[in-house]
Structure 1
Amino acid sequence: MLVFILILCIGTLIVLTTWAKMNVFLTFIIVSVMAALLLGMPLEMIPKTINKGIGDMLGSLVVVIVLGGMLGKLVGVSGAAQRIATSMRNAFGEKYITWAMSLTGLIVGIPLYYNVGFFLLIPIIFSVASRYKLPLVYIGIPMLTALSVMHGFLPPHPSPMALTVQFQADIAKVFLYGFIIAIPTIILAGPIFAKTLKGIKSNTSITFTAEDIPEERLPSLATSILSSLLPVLLIGVGSAAASFTAGNPGAQKIWHFIADPNIAMVGTILIATYTLGIRTGRTLKQVMDVYADAIKEISLILLIIGSAGILKQVFIDTGVSGQIADGLQQLNMPPLLLGWLIAAILRLCLGPATVAGLAAAGIVFPLMQQTHADPNLMVLSVGAGSLFCSHVNDTSFWVFKEYFGLDMKRTFLSWTMMESLVSVFGLIGVLILNMVI
């Protein structure tokens, strides 16, 4: 009965958004209430679950998403993205531009959470695709592949970090093994897979890029890169400094404050307002107008993210994840494969990768103790499983769809397929390492 309800809810979501062309925000609310009723949630709990779901989801993301959108718009209209895109083209050439995008995503994705990295780097994807007349999805997938792999495999990202602690793994080995697996996974699911996506057309309404600006009016390459990637530097330096000042609680608090993504984005906006705005000849009012346009463009995305959080919360509050995982414990298969499978099924049912990974942890831990599986590899196996087959109940699916202007079919063929490849290649890497070490 539980499986039937899950299939019915996900099927209804797909039908209402594709066939009925219903607004995605409204669809999520309707399906969430339907799921709550079918799963037996008391009526008085449903409004509380709605409020908690949308509040928890947006509470941790809204500042980063809004400020990231504002920074992205300014990077585009100031010519910074144009300067970076030109430099990338000159350094790598159009033939190897997807490899350059993957490398950028790999470096940025180590210290930066996926959501922050997406909204920070999306203007560069748009700029490269527009300037060199290349398909948007073909350019974007390699960079987003790298960001996704870092998010699912490597500490200090939330899910692998929590799994490392819960499985009592060695964080240095998790990072090392994860990095070893990440390189071939990014190559296969990024630049190589992207070759099959050249025919996918985008119809996006979001415009990060502006008309070409004369070379002499562009910001310098150093200013463009530093202003665009300043959040990365602030978070990375702050995190590193915090670890080196472990014996000084006062200094550590300051560095943790600087490394917080929200604070890093606020600081970046203040600096970029000058370096990419006022310094390039714009008035403060003109810069604020740029920011206002950015907020208008991402408002629907914010609503979709929040409403997807409602459905996730319904599944959590009704105990769906626990019931599914309990059934999987009865399966007789290798523990690393089982850990991947549990996380993959929870990902299919719950949506967000971090939620799926953390939900799987409590089920996998006792199995790992019984089978004496390598805890470092189990972290990576669950992390890979948590990335499997992103679809309509995952906010990243809708963010990608809306930003890249795709219909459902093309989103499945590009984003969902990429995430599935990352998950499967990651599992293969874990199993190979398990035979070697």
Structure 2
Amino acid sequence: MYHLIITLLAIIIVILGVSWFKWHAFISLTVASLFLAIFSGLSLDKIVGAYETGVGGVLGHLVGILALGTILGKMMAESGAGLQVANFFVKTFGVKRLPWAMMMAGFIIGLPVFFEVGILIVLPLVISLQKTTKQNILLIALPAIAGLSIVHGLVPPHPGAIAAIGIYKANLGKVLLYSIIIAIPSVIIAGPLFAKWIHKRVIPEGEPQLIKINMSAKKMPGTGISFFIILLPVILMIFSAIAPYTAFPDSAKKLFVFIGSPLIALLISCFAAFYFLGIRQGIDKKGIKSLVEESILPVGSIILIIGAGGGFKQILIASGVATTIADISQHLSLSPLVLAFCIAGLIRIATGSATVALTTAAGIVAPIVQHMSGVNLELLVIVTGAGSLMCSHVNDAGFWMVKEYLGLSVKETFKTWTVLETILSFVAFGLALILNMFV
């Protein structure tokens, strides 16, 4: 109980630091990490090392992706490619059906890519649509984000789901089938339906700052090339995902896996954008360099915030909070599906990482269900994934990405993103329990 109280106080420090003391989120997260480490009894000589490990762990994967994704977004915004795609969506679906179109876009783009990469691909399009239609950005953004999030949490080949399948020894094909059956109604409720309700109640005070759309581009690229650039990283990542299952020689498979890794796929896409959206549109080399520098400067702030969030997460793990929560959950007499959901949810709240919550919870629950009969292992994977989505808050990189890229305040991010994630979590859990009655 002491661990839980200290964790709660650390989270309150982050929120008060940002909203009341007006500290930068990086400072708030760092102070909260130190508070948690000291009061949880973590040895003084281990505190800085744990914090640095957490920062390095999250930024090692994200820093290049964030920079390249923002450059790609800037090229789409400045060249008018984002507007071309936005205009196509408006003409094809109409303004009223845009939330549904964005939900589909997020769901499809999210299948081969990490959540963070998907956000950087989708948000220039979201901001372009908002500028074109003059609607509340939440109405367009939340369905897209919901689509990205649900596939990240539940659907293979995302790493958390794949790891849980291996730990539980579940059938990959069945998990894929059940996860899509559960994901579609979940994303409809948490995406377009929730967005239509919340956008009337939350009007963002700020404007998106990291990606600014050029509404006056005189010579815009064609719709086809605009779609090609936005989908190029997704196409490369799909090739990477399917290459190991093809009859290609090993050298070709390795090449496809290499160029389909998020960092390389985004790098290739940036060079394609430099040519098709830059040089061919009359922007010279100096102009492209200037655009790159403009887009990279604001990324420094979000990299600091995400890094500090990673440090906070690692302090939670090193101080034993995640283990305490797991132990408390394990002693409750619950059905395996409910137990897996609760443990994953509590670890997610404690550590902020959906993948850590999913894999840790699976590791705890697997030995418990090993000797039980009648447990649906495929649905066990899905409820663990559902639990790993709930209550995203200040220790989650996704929370800060959504806040910074959409120009929201901390309070607005809690009201929208945190609620959306929790709806996804509980709806998917409920649907899994219903499906468990029939399969």
TM-score tier after normalising by the smaller chain length: over 0.9
Identity of aligned residues (%): 37
TM-score by length of 1: 0.97
1:436 counterpart SS class:
coil
Match of 2:71 in 1: 70
Distance 2:58 2:416 in 1: 25
Match of 1:251 in 2: 252
Contact 1:390 1:415 in 2 (8 A): yes
What RMSD, in angstroms, separates the aligned Cα atoms of the two structures?
Answer: 1.3
Distance 2:221 2:216 in 1: 13
Q: Quote the offset at 1:371 in angstroms.
A: 3.0
Distance 1:128 1:238 in 2: 30
Match of 1:390 in 2: 392
Match of 2:403 in 1: 401
Cα deviation per residue 1:139-189 (whole Å; 9 max; x = unaligned)?
A: 100000000001000111111111111111111111111001111011111
Task: Work out whether 1:212 is the aligned partner of 2:216.
Answer: yes
Contact 1:201 1:406 in 2 (8 A): no
Contact 1:49 1:310 in 2 (8 A): yes
Q: Which amino acid aligns with 1:51?
A: E
Distance 2:345 2:39 in 1: 24
Match of 2:62 in 1: 61
Task: Work out whether 1:227 is the aligned partner of 2:238.
Answer: no
Contact 1:335 1:371 in 2 (8 A): no
Q: Which amino acid aligns with 1:208?
A: K
Q: Quote the offset at 1:430 in angstroms.
A: 0.7
Contact 1:245 1:251 in 2 (8 A): no
- Where does 1:84-233 land on structure 2 (aligned, <5 Å)? 84-199=85-200, 200-202=202-204, 203-204=206-207, 205-214=209-218, 217-233=219-235
Distance 2:269 2:159 in 1: 23
1:391 counterpart SS class:
coil
2:213 counterpart SS class:
coil
Q: Quote the offset at 1:355 in angstroms.
A: 1.5
Distance 1:6 1:290 in 2: 42
Q: Which amino acid aligns with 2:3?
A: L
Distance 1:3 1:239 in 2: 40
Q: Quote the offset at 1:383 in angstroms.
A: 0.3
1:160 counterpart SS class:
helix
Q: Quote the offset at 1:368 in angstroms.
A: 2.2
Task: Work out whether 1:411 is the aligned partner of 2:429.
Answer: no
Q: Which amino acid aligns with 1:211?
A: M
Distance 1:3 1:75 in 2: 45
Distance 1:124 1:95 in 2: 17
Contact 2:211 2:405 in 1 (8 A): no
Distance 1:396 1:18 in 2: 19
Q: Quote the offset at 1:367 in angstroms.
A: 2.1
Report how many residues are paired: 434
Contact 2:114 2:158 in 1 (8 A): yes
Shift in alpha-carbon separation, 1:258–1:242, aligned structure 2, 3 A: farther
Contact 1:72 1:208 in 2 (8 A): no
Gapped regions of structure 1 (runs ≥ 5): none
Within the candidate set 419, 424, 427, 1:425 is matched to: 427
Q: Which amino acid aligns with 1:110?
A: L
2:298 counterpart SS class:
helix
TM-score by length of 2: 0.96
Contact 1:70 1:295 in 2 (8 A): yes
Distance 1:363 1:119 in 2: 33
2:239 counterpart SS class:
helix
- Where does 1:266-305 land on structure 2 (aligned, <5 Å)? 266-305=267-306
1:387 counterpart SS class:
coil
Cα deviation per residue 1:310-356 (whole Å; 9 max; x = unaligned)?
A: 01111112222112101211111221111111111111111121121
Contact 1:235 1:260 in 2 (8 A): yes
Point out the more displaced range, 47-56 or 139-148: 47-56
Distance 2:397 2:113 in 1: 18
Q: Quote the offset at 1:20 in angstroms.
A: 1.2
Distance 1:238 1:46 in 2: 38
Match of 1:365 in 2: 366
Shift in alpha-carbon separation, 1:281–1:83, aligned structure 2, 3 A: same
Shift in alpha-carbon separation, 1:245–1:64, aligned structure 2, 3 A: farther
Distance 1:96 1:411 in 2: 24
Match of 1:381 in 2: 383
Contact 1:82 1:212 in 2 (8 A): no
Cα deviation per residue 1:357-402 (whole Å; 9 max; x = unaligned)?
A: 1221211111222333211111100000000011111121111112
Contact 1:73 1:208 in 2 (8 A): yes
Cα deviation per residue 1:84-126 (whole Å; 9 max; x = unaligned)?
A: 0000001000010000000111111111111100011110000
Distance 1:39 1:207 in 2: 40
1:61 counterpart SS class:
helix
Runs of 4+ off more than 4 Å: none
